[in-house]
């Protein structure tokens, strides 16, 4: 048993910390890009279904698993699942719940560090007077570790280290004094900034300040349902992956935070408050900034092109700093500070959450103190994050996001939903969810958690494991199975990562 007796300071603090955990760069940068890459309106239907039948159930599963394990003094996934069943196997599967956090943190904190640096560049007027190409080039120059306007050598590494130091320092202050306090300041600010930018996003009018489209063009692109690819497992994998990523489920973060909830306290309502707050920030605020503004000025084709050619998460850095300046010099700088400031708060309240499972693990099982545990997290992330920094242009970053940030979440969620509903048992599980509950949990969720969630997860996983060429299932059944390049099996075989790293380290291949 551990001497780790930490807990949350207050209910508001807990909800804000959990919401801060969920609300992150995923809401503002990843969601819009996933939507664009998966056909806009074709993405939204699977996305919403995944929220209702996988997201919500997994929130309840993970919150109750966490509170349950916390009663036995455990705060990390391997030992939490170990309290649920005597078979040792589960403990090893539970290692996912620490590992995924560390792997995601390794690229996430790098992205977070860009937002910090871009706050200063917006303040310092770096983007004033640049055209769209200029702003986009600045980003390319930045991530290839080129010369920066501030004259700091290797500026991205500098900001990456600063960002990790900040995370480490806050983590070492503890749960209530560190994490909870940051969430109480960061979350309200983020919402205020987000509302302002969403308002600007909603009021774009073609012909004003160089806009070529009304904001409705971007919003329609996102929200007009499109049934063409509705049954493609690849789209479903992307939708499920996004729901998991954005809610922070399938990776052990929620187990850890919830394990510090007192055993008599509510989880049913708390889980819904944090989860729905995340969805509000994602589908209302997240969907109303990057996409409508970018499409307003660059057109749908322009944006789809940028995303496909230049890879995922850079869009918000390549376009917005330029587009903001179309509103005038002062507003341009202010909007830049708000946008990147909002991203920074969103990011840090999430990366702090990724640090806690590892820290809890060291505290509980090895009697480490909080401080050295926090430092060890910072150090590990620095080392594991370095490949995304150094080899960014080879797509290493997107590769981390695919394996750690999408596939492993779905795999782990599949295991834990089986553990919860079938091994631990649905009746016991339901008692855990509803005990101390401040809301009445709809009875239909007993059925959903037992059957729908695991089956859908299984379908998404197997479907994307062996996706046939072109997603043509009927054809594949009659003609022998040729795998699509988007199938997980082919991704393993043609591992980009291996090839890219080989290229990156062999100068002969580069030139
Ligand atoms: N949910 C966070 C986001 O949307 C990401 C996250 C992943 C947070 C893993 C904690 C753990 O950005
Ligand atoms: Na999120």
**How far is the centre of ligand 2, averaged over its atoms, from the C-alpha of 283 (Å)?**
10
**How far is the centre of ligand 2, averaged over its atoms, from the C-alpha of 104 (Å)?**
13
Q: What are the structure tokens assigned to 398, written together?
A: 């997107």
DSSP lists the bridge partners of residue 243 as: none
Where do we find the tokens 């103190």?
Answer: 369
Q: Say if ligand 1 is within 6 A of residue 246 CB.
A: yes
Residue 292: which residues within 8 A CB-CB, separation 6 or more?
A: 201, 202, 204, 215, 217, 218, 219
Q: Does the pTM of the predicted model rise above 0.90?
A: yes
**How far is the centre of ligand 1, averaged over its atoms, from the C-alpha of 20 (Å)?**
9
| Helix or strand (DSSP H, E) at 57 | helix 56-71
Q: What are the structure tokens assigned to 483, written together?
A: 């795998």
**How far is the centre of ligand 1, averaged over its atoms, from the C-alpha of 22 (Å)?**
5
Q: State the CB neighbour count (10 A cutoff) for residue 365.
A: 15
Give DSSP secondary structure letters for 364-410: HHH---HHHHHHHHHHHHHHHHHHHHHTGGGTHHHHHHHIIIIIHHH
Q: What are the structure tokens assigned to 202, written together?
A: 């909603």
Where do we find the tokens 């299984």?
Answer: 458
**How far is the centre of ligand 2, averaged over its atoms, from the C-alpha of 502 (Å)?**
34
Residue 425: which residues within 8 A CB-CB, separation 6 or more?
A: none
Listed in order, strand segments (DSSP E) in 257-316 are none
Ligand with minimal distance to 347 CA: 1
Does the interface ipTM go beyond 0.90? yes
Sign of CA dihedral 363, 366, 369, 374: negative
Q: Say if ligand 1 is within 6 A of residue 77 CB.
A: no
Residues in the chain: 511
Note down pLDDT in tens along the chain; length 511 residues. 456 788 999 999 999 999 999 999 999 999 998 888 888 888 988 999 999 999 999 999 999 999 999 999 999 999 999 999 999 999 999 999 999 999 999 999 999 999 999 999 999 999 998 998 999 999 999 999 987 778 788 999 999 999 999 999 999 999 999 999 999 999 999 999 999 999 999 999 999 888 999 999 999 988 888 787 787 777 888 899 899 999 999 999 999 999 999 999 999 999 999 999 999 999 999 999 999 999 999 899 988 888 887 766 788 999 999 999 999 999 999 999 999 999 999 999 999 999 999 999 999 999 999 999 999 999 999 999 999 999 888 888 888 888 998 889 999 999 999 999 999 999 999 999 999 999 999 999 999 999 999 999 999 899 889 988 887 877 888 888 899 888 899 988 876 666 666 666 665 544 3
Angle at which helices 11-22 and 268-279 pack, to 10 degrees? 40
**Ligand 1, atom nearest to 100 Cα:** 9
**Ligand 1, atom nearest to 248 Cα:** 1
Q: Select from 433, 427, 298, 388 the least CA-distant residue to 103.
A: 388
Ligand with minimal distance to 254 CA: 1
Residue 262: which residues within 8 A CB-CB, separation 6 or more?
A: 7
- List the residue whose alpha carbon is closest to atom 9 of ligand 1: 248
């Amino acid at each position: 048993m551990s001497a780790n007796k930490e807990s949350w300071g207050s209910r508001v603090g807990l909800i804000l910390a959990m919401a801060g955990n969920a609300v992150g760069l995923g809401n503002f940068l990843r969601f819009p890009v996933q939507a664009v890459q998966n056909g806009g309106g074709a993405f939204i239907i699977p996305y919403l279904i995944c929220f209702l039948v996988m997201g919500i159930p997994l929130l309840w599963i993970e919150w109750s698993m966490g509170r349950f394990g916390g009663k036995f003094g455990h705060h990390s996934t391997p030992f939490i699942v170990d309290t649920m069943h005597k078979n040792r196997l589960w403990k090893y599967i539970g290692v996912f719940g620490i590992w995924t956090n560390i792997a995601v943190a390794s690229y996430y904190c790098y992205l977070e560090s860009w937002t910090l640096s871009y706050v200063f560049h917006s303040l310092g007027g770096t983007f004033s007077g640049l055209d769209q190409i200029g702003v986009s080039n600045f980003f390319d120059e930045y991530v290839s570790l080129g010369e920066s306007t501030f004259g700091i050598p290797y500026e991205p590494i500098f900001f990456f280290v600063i960002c990790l130091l900040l995370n480490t320092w806050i983590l070492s202050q503890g749960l209530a004094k560190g994490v909870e306090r940051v969430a109480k300041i960061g979350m309200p600010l983020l919402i205020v900034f987000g509302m302002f930018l969403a308002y600007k996003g909603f009021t774009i009018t073609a012909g004003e300040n160089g806009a070529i489209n009304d904001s409705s063009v971007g919003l329609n692109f996102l929200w007009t349902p499109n049934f063409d690819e509705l049954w493609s497992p690849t789209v479903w994998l992307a939708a499920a992956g996004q729901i998991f990523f954005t809610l922070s489920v399938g990776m052990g973060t929620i187990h850890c935070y919830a394990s510090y909830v007192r055993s008599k306290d509510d989880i049913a309502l708390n889980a819904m408050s944090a989860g729905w707050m995340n969805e509000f920030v994602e589908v209302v605020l997240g969907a109303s900034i990057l996409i409508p503004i970018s499409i307003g000025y660059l057109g749908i084709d322009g944006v789809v092109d940028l995303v496909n050619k230049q890879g995922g998460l850079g869009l918000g850095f390549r376009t917005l700093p330029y587009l903001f300046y179309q509103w005038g010099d002062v507003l341009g700088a202010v909007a830049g500070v708000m946008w990147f400031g909002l991203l920074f708060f969103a990011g840090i309240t999430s990366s702090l959450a990724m640090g806690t499972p590892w820290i809890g693990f060291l505290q509980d099982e090895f009697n480490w103190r909080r401080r050295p545990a926090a430092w060890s997290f910072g150090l590990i992330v620095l080392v594991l994050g370095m490949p995304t920094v150094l080899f960014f242009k080879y797509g290493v970053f997107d590769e981390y996001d695919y394996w750690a940030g999408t596939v492993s979440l779905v795999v782990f969620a599949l295991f834990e939903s089986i553990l919860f509903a079938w091994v631990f048992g649905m009746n016991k599980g339901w008692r855990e969810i509803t005990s101390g509950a401040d809301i009445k949990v709809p009875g239909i969720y007993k059925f959903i958690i037992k059957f729908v969630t695991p089956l859908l997860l299984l379908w998404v996983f197997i479907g994307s494991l062996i996706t046939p060429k072109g997603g043509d299932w009927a054809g594949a059944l009659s003609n022998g199975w040729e795998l699509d390049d988007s199938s997980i099996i082919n991704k393993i075989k043609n591992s980009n990562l291996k090839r890219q790293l080989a290229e990156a380290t062999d100068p002969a291949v580069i030139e």
